[in-house]
Amino acid sequence: MASNTAKTMQLLHLGSMLNLFPVLLLISFGFVLGKIGSATFSPESYLPNFRALSPTPASKKACVKLPTFMESGRLTASSGGPMHNMTDEELLWRASMEPRRSTQVSTVPKVAFLFLVQGALPLWPLWEIFFNGQDKELYSIYVHASPGYTDLAPKESVFYGRLIPSQGTKWGDMNLVDAERRLLATALLDLGNARFALFSESCIPLLGFPAVYAHLTGGSNTNVSFVDSYPIKERHDPFFADRNISLAQWRKGSQWFEMDRTTAVEVVAEERWYAVFRGDHGMLNMEEHYLPTLVTLLRWGARCKNRTLTYVDWSTRREHPRSFPEKDITAELLEGMRQGDGKCGYKYHGDDDGASEVEFCHLFARKFSKDALTKLIQLAPELWLV
């Protein structure tokens, strides 16, 4: 009997506890609602990992002033070619932000051929032969001509539609460097371009495309630039010394360069020394000094070979190098240009049994007259068979 009474008491106690539980639950829920209602909700309190994505208060913005043109929404190039609607300032800024390594999905690097000309390319048929039959994924072409020039290249030409927005240039003026930077910046917008070579309308290739491409993109040359640069006293005005360009840093060289992507980005991004060379110093031919002197100012060192791959004959000791008309064109002349002084050490291995190995100092040459075209086309097939 006592045992039944005890069990009855336990059941009554348990029932009381079960009846009390909903009451406690309601009280707890009300307490939580009260705390939430009286607090200021802050996403950062509950999502600490997203704090970096939250907008920075105006009073705490970093001290970085973006160019005013960033608000214009015009930093886009035409998808159909190198034409765009950007100003020089916009173009150079955008190009300076591009990766310093080729980031194309394909691992095959492209060579950008940059032509700085006044108008039509008188030797374009020779270049057409040079590019004919080659994989278009291996190269790109950009042409900077006088603003009034109309593209007359036929649609089947590799030069068709390759004009870039340009401005006027003249001999001996710093605006030639402006044009070079414009060409580099436009080519940098193509992430596949890994090498950049500058040519005039009087330049020709001394080797066939396969040999040129192999030399520029293969082996130890992958991360090396060819910017002609040698010490000289000529034109080192006190203007430059007063602006921290010493005679020991002063250089001269050919403007016809070949460089890798890293160096190209540095050239379009550089502003300090560019402003000095554009200053009121009254000196001509700064295109012969700006890039060569950057070699020392930016300490390119082993990254730069301090010479050009484009042959030029200055033996006439005049303001302009020697020009080669049709009567001067021979296979021996062109072979001599390729070989140079024989101390360059550039090698291209043929595709046969590996026995054919030729050393070249130069891959390109200038200045060739328009009347030399026919003779050059006749010699090209044999000359390029290396």
In tens, the pLDDT along 216-243 reads 998 777 788 999 999 999 999 999 999 9
25 vs 98, more confident: 98
Go through 185-204 and write b for each residue having 16 or more CB atoms within 10 A of its CB, e for each that does not: bbbbbbebbbbbbbbbbbbb
* pLDDT of residue 99 exceeding 70: no
* pLDDT of residue 178 exceeding 70: yes
| Whole-structure pTM value | 0.75
pLDDT at residue number 94: 83
pLDDT at residue number 28: 55
pLDDT at residue number 303: 86
Instruction: Identify the band that residue 375 occupies on the pLDDT scale cut at 50, 70 and 90.
Output: very high
- Rounded to whole angstroms, how far apart are CA atoms 17 and 40? 37
Query: pLDDT tens, 19-40?
Result: 555 545 555 555 544 544 444 4
- Rounded to whole angstroms, how far apart are CA atoms 44 and 89? 39
Average pLDDT of the segment spanning 350-372? 71
pLDDT at residue number 31: 52
* pLDDT of residue 345 exceeding 70: no
pLDDT at residue number 19: 54
> CA nearest 140: which of 114, 122, 179, 101?
114
Six token digits for residue 71: 């608000």
Q: Is 266 exposed, middle or buried (0-12, 13-18, 19+ CB in 10 A)?
A: middle
* pLDDT of residue 47 exceeding 90: no
The phi and psi torsions of 198 (rounded to 5 degrees) equal: -105, 135
Instruction: Identify the band that residue 111 occupies on the pLDDT scale cut at 50, 70 and 90.
Output: very high
For the chain, what is the mean pLDDT?
A: 78
Instruction: Identify the band that residue 102 occupies on the pLDDT scale cut at 50, 70 and 90.
Output: low
* pLDDT of residue 332 exceeding 50: yes
pLDDT at residue number 63: 39
- Rounded to whole angstroms, how far apart are CA atoms 113 and 120? 16
**DSSP state, 324?**
B
167 vs 209, more confident: 209
Instruction: Identify the band that residue 109 occupies on the pLDDT scale cut at 50, 70 and 90.
Output: very high
pLDDT at residue number 62: 36
* pLDDT of residue 165 exceeding 80: yes
Number of H helices, E strands in the chain: 12, 11
> CA nearest 135: which of 79, 192, 81?
192
Q: What percent of the chain has pLDDT over 70?
A: 72
Average pLDDT of the segment spanning 299-322? 85
Ranking 124-128, 143-147, 303-307 by mean pLDDT, the lowest is 303-307
Instruction: Identify the band that residue 106 occupies on the pLDDT scale cut at 50, 70 and 90.
Output: low
Average pLDDT of the segment spanning 326-337? 94
- Rounded to whole angstroms, how far apart are CA atoms 235 and 379? 40
Residues in the chain, overall count: 386
